[in-house]
């Protein structure tokens, strides 16, 4: 395939090139992406070299100087190294970066808990209590997700998240329920919110951040 393409490239030239010209045309043709993509990888080349070495080692002209046991030991070692190389570099590594859910409490939002807290505090300074409460509850939910304490579905409601968070924090059940109610009131019922509700939500958030979650095995069925 490669040889025929090179010949076609040479034949399409109106003048008969000399040796240097033909070499230059061939190099340009072989430098095209389709030929570079077909080149063997480093692992392919290394594996081919190992196979060739093993074949040569066991042929009479090359392997006569090696004892049978030495040849077997060397062969086993080379195969083990080849397997290790394939296991480490021969397959794609699983990404360790956890993707952040883009949908949170019914809206597309990929901000971190810290970013949501900062936005909530900014809204509170402006006395926009409804926005502050919504943002702070989102921060609570995002923080629990970032800590791998809950795994809510994309359409999970505030109450669903509160109930799920009771498992690692059973003593905070009432506070979580009240926080979810405050979120629903300002988010869906149009309540203006208040400084008192926001302070209560901040205190709940801070307690959850400082408390050690209860292990799942310790939660009573």
pLDDT tens-digit map of 66-80: 566 666 767 777 777
Compute how many other C-beta atoms are within 10 angstroms of the C-beta atom of residue 47: 16
Give the C-alpha separation, 137 to 126, whole Å.
18
Confidence of residue 199 (pLDDT cuts 50, 70, 90): very high
Q: What is the pLDDT of residue 115?
A: 95
Q: What is the dihedral of CA 173, 176, 178, 184, to 10 degrees?
A: -140
Residue 185 class from Cβ within 10 Å (0-12 exposed, 13-18 middle, 19+ buried)? middle
Q: Specify if 175 maps to a domain.
A: yes
Residue 4: give the domain boundaries. Answer: 1-9+18-39
Q: Specify if 97 maps to a domain.
A: no
- Do residues 9 and 25 touch, judged by C-beta distance below 8 A? yes
Same-domain status, 118 and 163: yes
pTM: 0.54
Same-domain status, 157 and 67: no
Same-domain status, 137 and 209: yes
């Amino acid at each position: 395939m490669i040889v025929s393409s090179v010949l076609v490239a040479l034949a399409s030239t109106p003048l008969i090139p000399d040796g240097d010209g033909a070499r230059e045309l061939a190099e340009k043709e072989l430098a095209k992406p389709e030929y570079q993509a077909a080149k063997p990888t480093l692992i392919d080349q290394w594996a081919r070299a190992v196979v060739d070495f093993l074949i040569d080692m066991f042929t009479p002209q090359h392997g006569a100087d090696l004892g049978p046991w030495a040849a077997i030991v060397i062969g086993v070692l080379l195969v083990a190294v080849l397997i290790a190389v394939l296991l480490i570099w021969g397959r794609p590594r699983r990404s360790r970066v956890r993707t952040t859910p883009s949908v949170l409490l019914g809206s597309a939002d990929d901000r971190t808990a810290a970013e949501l807290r900062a936005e909530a505090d900014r809204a509170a300074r402006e006395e926009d209590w409804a926005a502050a409460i919504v943002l702070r509850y989102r921060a609570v939910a995002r923080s629990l997700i970032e800590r791998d304490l809950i795994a809510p579905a994309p359409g999970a409601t505030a109450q669903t998240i509160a109930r799920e968070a009771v498992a690692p924090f059973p003593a905070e059940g009432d506070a979580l329920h009240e926080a979810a109610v405050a979120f629903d009131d300002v988010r869906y019922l149009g309540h203006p919110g208040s400084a008192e509700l926001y302070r209560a939500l901040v205190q709940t958030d801070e307690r959850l951040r400082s408390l050690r979650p209860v292990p799942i095995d310790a939660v009573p069925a």
